[in-house]
Structure 1
Amino acid sequence: MARAVAELRSWPALAASDTRRGLTFAVRGTEILRLSGPDQVQVRLTAPAIDRLGHYLRECVQVHECADGAWVAVQVEAEPDLELLFALTSVAIKAHVP
């Protein structure tokens, strides 16, 4: 997870914040990533993006829908999981930038 955090901190569109709940990342003031465990990150994709990607997300064992329909949880255990996290983070950024 340290590699993911280091990489995400270098992305110019993201602003990192250490909160009581843990490390979060925001784009234009909207929180889009939160570290929710030692190997899990929640990503705010938005409901329309989840609907669009739903078929693929449901087939991926590393991704789980959260109770809030705008978020998914990504289990990061290996290098391919990092690439998935970075790809979903890109989707989240695009979903929150007009």
Structure 2
Amino acid sequence: MKAGRATLSYAEMEAAGHFDRPCTPQAVIDYFNACIVESHGDAEILGEAIAYLAGEEDLRAIARECGLPVEVVRRQLSGRRTLTLRTVMGALRALGLQLRVDLAG
């Protein structure tokens, strides 16, 4: 767990066996929305969430959508390289998701 973060990330929770990988469209949506809320702007948490949802098989589709080599996408999602909005948006498109903005409250 990172210093300063009070809770485990979803990837850490899953690795510890707290829940199963989401497999229905609504479960994927709920999972990613929860990760956005939990992240408080931490790109590393979003990268972990995208990598977890994508799995190894979808990394190539994400890389194609972003116009980047698979290894660059893998490094961005793992936090070893800065995660860009371009990669987040491309990953969401490749996963069949879209990012929306709504009024708070």
Q: Tell me the TM-score normalised to structure 2 length.
A: 0.30
Considering fraction of residues, name the structure with more strand.
Answer: 1
Considering fraction of residues, name the structure with more helix.
Answer: 2
